[in-house]
Amino acid sequence: MQYLNSQIRAALAQPDMSRRLIDLGGEPQAGSVEDINRFVAAELRKWQRVIDSRKIERQ
């Protein structure tokens, strides 16, 4: 994960890459591996609540 994170950070440091991500609706952010893990865990919890509240069934 450290290697992948360092490569992503290097890519995001390039103005063209950041601009392209913004153009596609993204929000370029570089963080630590721990930051990414916290973000993913929070997103999983958030969307699980939506799924549960809407009673969405797996298809």
Report how far apart, in Å, the C-alpha atoms of 31 and of each of 3, 49, 52, 55, 59 are. 13, 26, 30, 34, 34
3-28 pLDDT tens trace = 988 999 999 999 999 999 999 999 99
Q: Which residues contact 18 (CB under 8 A, 6 or more apart)?
A: 12, 28
pTM value is 0.65
User: What does the domain layout of the chain look like in residue ranges?
Assistant: 2-54
